[in-house]
Amino acid sequence: MSKITASMLYNFVQCPHRFTLDLFGNSKDRDPVSPFVQLLWDKGSAFEKEVIEGLETAFTDLSKFKGEEKERMTQEAMKRGDNLIYSGRITAGDLVGEPDILRLHNKFYIAGDIKSGAGEEGASEDSEGKPKKHYAVQLALYTDILEMLGVSGGRCPFVWDIHGEEVEYDLNAPQGVKKKESLWALYGTCLGEAIAISRKAIQTLPALAANCKLCCWRSLCKKEVKESQDLTLIPELGRGKRDVMIASIRTVSDLAEADISRLIKGKKSPFPGIGPDSLLKFQARAKLLQSAGRPYIKKEFALPNAETELFFDIETNPMRDICYLHGFLERRGSSERYVSFFADSPTTEDEEQAFAQAWEYIQSSRPCAIYYYSPYERTFWRKLRERYPYVMTEEQLDELFSPETAVDLYNHVIKPCTEWPTNDHSIKTLAYYLGFKWRDTDPSGAASIEWYHRWVESGDQTIRQRILEYNEDDCIATRVLLEGIRSLSQKSH
Ligand code: SF4
């Protein structure tokens, strides 16, 4: 059996099939590493180096050593009782861990990782953040090894995160108010399944999911999913739902042809977590995919009637936490033009200026209807307003995004009121379906993040132009989608 490492468990939490393919897949089937993933790795290494160079305390640096020598040096450092050990290696049984940090704690050791992301997820004004499962299983694996070695200082490992915070992971605590299972129990379950996969005692299946976009096995899995007509080809029917249905319904055509009324008993479907309404919705989608039918309206909706329409899309860079571009396709009758406000440098001054100019532009375009896709624009503008409160008031922001004049086409129309014969409801997929083509060969949010990074580093005008064209095409795609929606008819039963 292969040794289980922390990064293998990290991948297991992202996708169990990734764990399988990393162990048993043919490396020739791997996709090349995308520039965006490379950028993430580079940023991670640069951040770790910055943190280590900024340490104001003495530490034992084992980063130059590898394999068994690194392990031996780590054992010696722990025997000496060194206060802080950087880049050590610990093993026990079938587990191998290379924690960034081992720190003396109550005469024993606890482990920590340096992460170039936030230490927790889902934090907002109203709620505290929660531990990230993929971080937790890595930290738990180190802690498990330390326990087996008899040198664990407790189940309280930590993350040093991008904000300079030390975030403790209390492995014995429940995961949340509703989820009583502890992170330690979660780790035990993940490890058990990972070991079973590595012994070929259980098999995993590919899926079509959002996190496949950055995965090195995406082309292989996409091909297999299509060939097997896997249920994850149905929008919003993810891996978890597929796994509870698969024993009785295996493929898209199985679902399209199933006698659902016989499966539903009262208000219950036979599949945990999938209610009767969802099951019927998924069957309608399966039928649409199966027949390659036309998209249709399933529920009435109203759209604003305005002479001037603005199709709005922003570009942000999460690594720098900046919104650097506000783009608008302005349509007045039959004439169209693209208007953009670009932050040429990743500074608060330039971000504020672009934000203020975009707001002035919207005000000068009124009366108008605004169309955007998903709540991201609204959420980020709220953040910008809090960052630069002199630009606009809270009331102005609420009024700007009120449904009478601003329509989130995804949440207000596509999701609740229409059905499409596609595998997801992203703007890219729907606009492609309607015949629109982006000028760029690699149009994606992830790619644009990498372009902006290179623009800031190099000042290369061709990269700036590439970003602008990509954003303009996103705005045009929103207009194409609106026209597609307007041309839909109600489904005839
Ligand atoms: S492409 Fe998707 S299903 Fe396949 S291994 Fe990667 S994440 Fe898993």
Q: pLDDT by residue (tens digit) across 382-402?
A: 999 999 999 999 999 999 999
Q: Which of 437, 407, 171, 14 is nearest to 415 (CA)?
A: 407
Query: pLDDT grade, residue 442 (50/70/90)?
Result: confident
Average pLDDT of the chain, as a whole number: 94
Ligand 1: nearest atom to the Cα of 222 = 1
Q: How far does the centroid of ligand 1 lie from the alpha carbon of residue 224, in Å?
A: 11
Q: Beta strands 95-97 and 4-5: pairing type?
A: parallel
Query: Do the domain assignments include residue 493?
Result: no
Task: Write the CATH number for 319.
Answer: 3.30.420
Burial annotation 148-187 (CB, 10 A radius, 16+ → b, else e): eeebbbbbbbbbbbbeeeebebbbeeebeeeeeebbbebb
Q: What is the dihedral of CA 433, 437, 438, 441, to 10 degrees?
A: 100
How much is the pLDDT for 228?
Answer: 97
Calpha distance 354→26 (Å, rounded): 48
How much is the pLDDT for 126?
Answer: 58
Residues 7-35 have a mean pLDDT of 95
Query: pLDDT grade, residue 492 (50/70/90)?
Result: low
Pocket test residue of 211, 226, 227 for ligand 1, highest count of atoms within 8 A of CB: 211
Query: Do the domain assignments include residue 160?
Result: yes
Same domain, 408 and 374: yes
Same domain, 98 and 155: yes
Pocket test residue of 29, 203, 221, 239 for ligand 1, highest count of atoms within 8 A of CB: 221
Number of domains, the chain: 3
Q: pLDDT digits over 40-79, tens only?
A: 999 999 999 999 999 989 999 999 999 999 999 999 999 9
Query: Do the domain assignments include residue 208?
Result: no
Query: Do the domain assignments include residue 451?
Result: yes
Query: Do the domain assignments include residue 281?
Result: yes
Calpha distance 444→435 (Å, rounded): 17
| DSSP per residue, 143-180 | HHHHHHTT-B--S--EEE-TTS-EEE--TTSBSSSS--
Among 22-31, 225-234, 315-324, 380-389, where is mean pLDDT lowest?
315-324
Q: Which two tokens stand for residue 222?
A: 């996409």
Task: Write the CATH number for 244.
Answer: 1.10.150
Query: pLDDT grade, residue 360 (50/70/90)?
Result: very high
Give the pTM. Answer: 0.89
Same domain, 287 and 315: no
pLDDT at residue 125 greater than cutoff 60? no
Instruction: Determine the structural domain holding residue 439 and report its residue range.
Output: 308-486
Same domain, 169 and 43: yes
Which residues approach ligand 1 with their CB closer than 6 A? 15, 17-18, 21, 206-207, 209, 211-212, 215, 217-218, 221
Same domain, 267 and 313: no
Query: Do the domain assignments include residue 144?
Result: yes
Residues 18-46 have a mean pLDDT of 94
Q: How far does the centroid of ligand 1 lie from the alpha carbon of residue 389, in Å?
A: 42
Q: Which of 289, 298, 343, 302 is nearest to 320 (CA)?
A: 343
Calpha distance 146→231 (Å, rounded): 42
Same domain, 124 and 252: no
Q: How far does the centroid of ligand 1 lie from the alpha carbon of residue 129, in Å?
A: 27
